[in-house]
Amino acid sequence: MSNIRHALSVKRADDFAAWYQEVISAADMAEESGVRGCMVIKPWGYGIWERIQRLMDDRIKATGHDNCYFPIFIPLSNFEREAAHVEGFAKEMAVVTHHRLIADGKGGLIPDPEAKLEEPLVVRPTSETIIGDAMARWIQSWRDLPLLTNQWANVVRWEMRTRMFLRTSEFLWQEGHTAHENAADAQEHTLRMLEVYRACAEDDLAMPVIAGEKPENERFPGAVETWSIEAMMQDGKALQAGTSHYLGTNFAKASGIQYQDREGGQQYCHTTSWGVSTRLIGGVIMTHGDDDGLRVPPAIAPHQVVILPMLRDQPEDAALLEYCEALRASISSQFALGEKIRVLLDRKPGKAATKRWDWVRKGAPVIIEVGGRDMESKVVSLLRRDRLWAENGKPDFATPSRDEAAAAMPAMLGDIQQSLFNEAAQRRDANITRDVTTMDALAAFYADNQRYPGWVEVQWSRPTGAALDAVVEKLKALKLTVRNVPLGAMPADGACIFTGEPAVERIYVARSY
RNA sequence: CGGGGAGUGGCGCAGCCUGGUAGCGCAUCUGUUUUGGGAACAGAGGGUCGCAGGUUCGAAUCCUGUCUCCCCGACCA
CATH number, domain with residue A144: 3.30.930.10
Asked if the Cβ of residue A221 lies within 7 A of any atom of strand B, the reply is yes
Stretch A376-397: mean pLDDT: 93
Q: Same structural domain for residues A402 and A324? A: yes
DSSP secondary structure letter of residue A113: G
Within-domain flag for A56: yes
**In the complex, which nucleotide's C1' lies nearest to the CA atom of residue A125?**
B77
Q: Residue A244: pLDDT band by 50, 70, 90 thresholds?
A: very high
Which range of residues forms the domain containing residue A225?
16-75+122-288
Stretch A354-371: mean pLDDT: 95
pLDDT at A109: 85
Within-domain flag for A114: no
Q: Same structural domain for residues A258 and A337? A: no
Q: Same structural domain for residues A473 and A333? A: no
Q: Same structural domain for residues A203 and A344? A: no
Structure ipTM: 0.92
Distance, Å, A350 CA → B32 C1': 18
CATH number at residue A489: 3.30.110.30
d(CA A342, CA A347): 16
Asked if the Cβ of residue A91 lies within 7 A of any atom of strand B, the reply is yes
pLDDT at A450: 60
**Which residue has the least CA–C1' distance to nucleotide B35?**
A312
Question: Which of A32, A59, A29 lies closest to A295, judged by CA?
Answer: A29
Within-domain flag for A134: yes
Q: Same structural domain for residues A35 and A154? A: yes
Residues 306-345 of A, Cβ under 7 A from nucleic strand B: 310, 312-314
Stretch A65-87: mean pLDDT: 94
pLDDT tens-digit map of A99-122 = 999 988 777 788 999 999 999 999
Q: Same structural domain for residues A277 and A329? A: no
CATH number at residue A359: 3.40.50.800
Q: Same structural domain for residues A313 and A243? A: no
Asked if the Cβ of residue A84 lies within 7 A of any atom of strand B, the reply is no
d(CA A367, CA A309): 11
pLDDT at A447: 84
- Out of A52-66, A138-152, A302-316, pick the least confident: A302-316
Q: What is the residue-averaged pLDDT of chain A?
A: 94
Q: Same structural domain for residues A361 and A450? A: no
Q: Same structural domain for residues A343 and A482? A: no
Q: Indicate whether A286 pLDDT > 90.
A: yes
d(CA A284, CA A294): 8
pLDDT tens-digit map of A445-497 = 988 766 667 999 999 999 999 999 999 999 999 999 999 999 999 999 999 99
Distance, Å, A380 CA → B2 C1': 58
What total number of domains does chain A contain? 3
Q: Indicate whether A315 pLDDT > 90.
A: no
Residues 257-296 of A, Cβ under 7 A from nucleic strand B: 275-277, 279
pLDDT tens-digit map of A387-407 = 999 988 889 999 999 999 999
Stretch A201-206: mean pLDDT: 98
pLDDT at A1: 45
Q: Same structural domain for residues A374 and A502? A: no
What string of H, E and C letters represents the secondary structure of A406-462? HHHHHHHHHHHHHHHHHHHHHHHHHCEECCCCCHHHHHHHHHHCCCCCCEEEEEECC
Which residues is A345 bridged to in the sheet?
A307
Q: Same structural domain for residues A60 and A157? A: yes
pLDDT at A451: 60
Within-domain flag for A88: no
The CA-atom distances, in angstroms, between A489 and each of A2, A221, A379, A508 are 41, 27, 50, 11
